[in-house]
Each structure stands twice: as structure tokens, then as C-alpha cells.
Amino acid sequence: MTKVLIIGGSDAGISAALRARECDPTSEIEVVLEDSYPNYSIRGIPYYVSDEVADWRNLAHRTIDDLEATGMRLRLDTVAQAIDIERREVLVTGSDGREARLAYDKLIIGTGAVPIRPAIDGIETLGPADGVHLLHSMADTFALARTLNERKPDRAVIVGAGYIGLEMADALTLRGLSVTQIEQLPEVLPTVDPELGARVHAVLEANGVEVITGTAVSRLSATESGVLVEAVSADGALTWTAELVLVVVGVRPEASLAAEAGATLGAKGAIAVDCQMRTNLPDVYAAGDCVVTRHRLLGEAYVPLGTTAHKQGRIAGENAVGANREFAGSIGTQVVKIFDHVAARTGVRDHEATTAGFDPLTIDSQADDHKAYYPGSRKIHARVTGDRLTGQLLGVQLFGHITTHVAKRIDTAATAIYHGMSVDELNDLDLSYTPPLGSPWDAMQSVAQEWSRSASRLPGRGSRPSRVEPPSPG
């Protein structure tokens, strides 16, 4: 019987626990987590805040009873303090303050990520009681809900315009708040090119959000009427006063516990792991938002995504009980809903491709989501990146109305990139067609043809590149 101890009860940790039990029903599985909310959907939080999800309990992928019914033991409200590699023990502190040493045969670290606290004067001293919130855990969610329900604020300022920031602008607007969104970079949603970010920007403004880009928040301070937000832009100083300030500028890996035990760190300070999710420490695995990710096009990277965490946790759990499974790698596929529109990306953008040694060509294109003669047809806006020499598909970015099935189309592109297909080979895919839902050439194929036409005009390009083999997982 193998005793598997898991630190962390979110996506990676619970996936590891479930898979270990599936592969070896005799294994003893114990999960240590800091709070009482295992297996909750962090990405679902904005939809609870907006009241679209009525009960916070619905954010749980599985209940505690469901998890314990599999045979795993959950240690709730328990903090892992230190890992003793030689003794194969983890020192923990329970909610009552008592310490205990938990033995293991195999250890899986799934400590996840924590919110970045930007260099803003006042952010370390102000908190939920003042109306200043971070948002990453269920505790953060409950604190924000109290502010919304008890204080009933009229105005909110969101610092950051990434995925969570955009979803929260949507959520708080639906709650009836007047929202100002401040982004330090030149355009919102900086994980896509500015050309698509500008379209997201326009949707925000069309729904009443005040969008301020190229502006860095420098100071937060409490006043009688709320929180004074001070910022600096190229045009000078700016100020706002709001009863609610939400700071969501990204996350960083929570790797301190592993590092103190001697684990090697990699990109962005995340735990270095191999393709089997093994750290450099004996019989210690790690997975999820705390680890370095193998990107199929970029190599070592830090890509904190829930989908990736689930996959890595599953592999770590399987290998901890004797398997030899490898993580195939990520390509950073992401999608976000902004009011009634959707933006998505997969693979790499032009500058990332150049850094990785490719010779990228990126083109703008658009296509109808279904046959234009059928009512309700809308445009999907795309940016397609391929390698000029080989024609390999490297990246796709899409933007369109929520009815245009952007998520379906980005998944087609992600599958093609995963398998090393050329842009032109998208045209060979046998995709579904009926006039209300598509066209004989799907929108993804139409934009691929536009890229091929652009590439064929380059000197030295043939009509059809040879197939590109995907990189090996090693």
C-alpha cells in the first residue's frame, strides 16, 4: 500500500488524489488544505458575484462527501509548515493550533498560486474592511460578497484588465455598479494582440464601463466617502473615489514550501518539474499553478491555467502510485466572456514566436460564423500566426459575439497546433456544416486560406508546405 500525501485541495491536488485512487484503490490518500473548500472553481467566482450562480456551493466540482466517498482523507483548515525530505514527513498545523507530522511514501505539492500585490502605496495596509479586495480564494469571495451585500456600493474601481478583471467588470456591472477599469499596459486583455484588445475595450465601453489604459495606480487611501485611488498616466495624475476597489493584476506561483525543502525553481519562480511531474526531491511530485509548464512551442514557461492544473494533477497522482505517464505540454489555450462577446487565444503570438526561433507571419482576417443568408450571421475577427518558411500554424486569436461559437473554433485551432499542422492543413479537416451554424468552409478554414494567400505572396514560398511534426514530449 502506497501512502500519498497531497498538499493543496484545488484543481491539481484533487485531480491527483482522484487519479491515484482510481489507479490503486489500495493506496492511502490524504489531502492537506488551508481552508474548508476543496475542489472549488475559482474561475466561477465572477458568476457568483454577478448573481448568475445563485449559491456559492454550486461552485464546488464535488462536495466534501463526494470526495471522502472515494476513500481519500481531507484535512481541512490545515497549514503545511515544512517538508522533511529525509524523514518523509510534512509538519502541519491544524485550525486548533496543534502541530502534527504526517508521513508519506509519495508527496504531491499542489500549492497553486497567490495574487500579485503590485507596488501600490497603501495596498498592504488597506483590506476588505476598507473596501479593498483581492480575489483568488473562497475567503476572498465571501469578503467581497459581504462588501456588496452590506455596504451596497454604487461605484467600483478594478485595477487590472486581464481575464479575471474583465469578468469582474462584467459581473459588477450586472450587479448595478458603475465600474472604472484601469490597466497599466496600452490595451486591455494584454494576452491578445492590441488589435483584438481594442475590440474588447469597445465592448466594455458599450456596456458602460469606463476604461482607462496606459495608467498605473500609485496609491490607495481610505476616506470618509470611500477609497481614494490615485494613478499616473502619460497625461498626468488622475484620481477616483469608489466604495469598492478590486486589485486583480495576475498571480505568482506559491512555491515557498517546496523551495524551503530544497526544490529547484524555474520560470517565474515556479517549481521545476519534468514531464512526469517529478521535482528534484526524492518521491516528491508537483503540479498545477505552482509549477513550471512545458509549452509545446516555447519550452519552459509559466502558464497558470485550470485546465493545465487538472491534467498535471492527474498525471502526478497516477505516477505517484507506480505509473509512468508524461504531461504532453500546454499551448496556452484561453477564452473569456466579456458581456455578450468572447475573446480567445491559443498557441503563440508574433513576438513569442520570434523569441522561440520561428519566422512568424501574422495576418488579420474575418469570416462569417455561419452562412450569411441565414438570419443572425455575425463576423468572427481573427489573427492567425504561422511560420513563413514551413507554414506551421503557431497561434490563433479570435473575437466575436457569444453566438459565434468562438470557443469551439479556438479548440479547433488548439488541436491543429498540438498536432503540428500547417495553416493550410486546416482546410483538410472534415468539419461540420449546416447553414444556421456554419459554412462549407468553416470560419477557421476561411481565415487559414487568407493566411495562405498572404504567405504565397512572399518570395520563395511554394503553394503548399510540408507537414510539420509536433515536438516530442521529452
pLDDT tens-digit readout, 201-246: 999 999 999 999 999 999 999 999 999 999 999 989 999 999 999 9
Residue with cell 505572396: 457
At residue 468 the predicted structure's pLDDT band, cuts being 50, 70 and 90, is: low
pLDDT tens-digit readout, 412-443: 999 999 999 999 999 999 999 999 999 999 99
Residue 470 has pLDDT above 80, yes or no: no
- Measured distance CA(156)–CA(51) in Å, rounded: 17
Architecture of domain 128-249: 3-Layer(bba) Sandwich (3.50)
Residue 199 has pLDDT above 70, yes or no: yes
| Cβ 132 vs Cβ 248: under 8 Å | no
Element (H, E) at 315: helix 306-320
Residue 346 has pLDDT above 50, yes or no: yes
pTM of the complete model: 0.93
- Measured distance CA(39)–CA(27) in Å, rounded: 20
What pLDDT does 456 receive? 87
At residue 466 the predicted structure's pLDDT band, cuts being 50, 70 and 90, is: very low
Domain 340-456 has CATH 3.50.50.60: yes
pLDDT tens-digit readout, 360-374: 999 999 999 999 999
Residue ranges per domain, the chain?
3-113+252-320, 128-249, 340-456
Residue 40 has pLDDT above 60, yes or no: yes
CA angle, residues 198, 200, 205, in degrees to nearest 5: 95
| Cβ 377 vs Cβ 431: under 8 Å | no
Q: Could you check whether 3-113+252-320 and 128-249 share the same CATH topology?
A: yes
What pLDDT does 355 receive? 94
Which one is the CATH code of 3-113+252-320: 3.30.420.40, 3.50.50.60, 3.20.20.30, 3.40.50.300? 3.50.50.60
Better-scored residue on pLDDT, 421 or 469: 421
Handedness of CA 441, 353, 400, 168 (dihedral sign): positive
As beta bridge partners, residue 158 has 181, 246
Here the cell at position 459 is: 518570395
At residue 457 the predicted structure's pLDDT band, cuts being 50, 70 and 90, is: confident
Residue 397 has pLDDT above 80, yes or no: yes
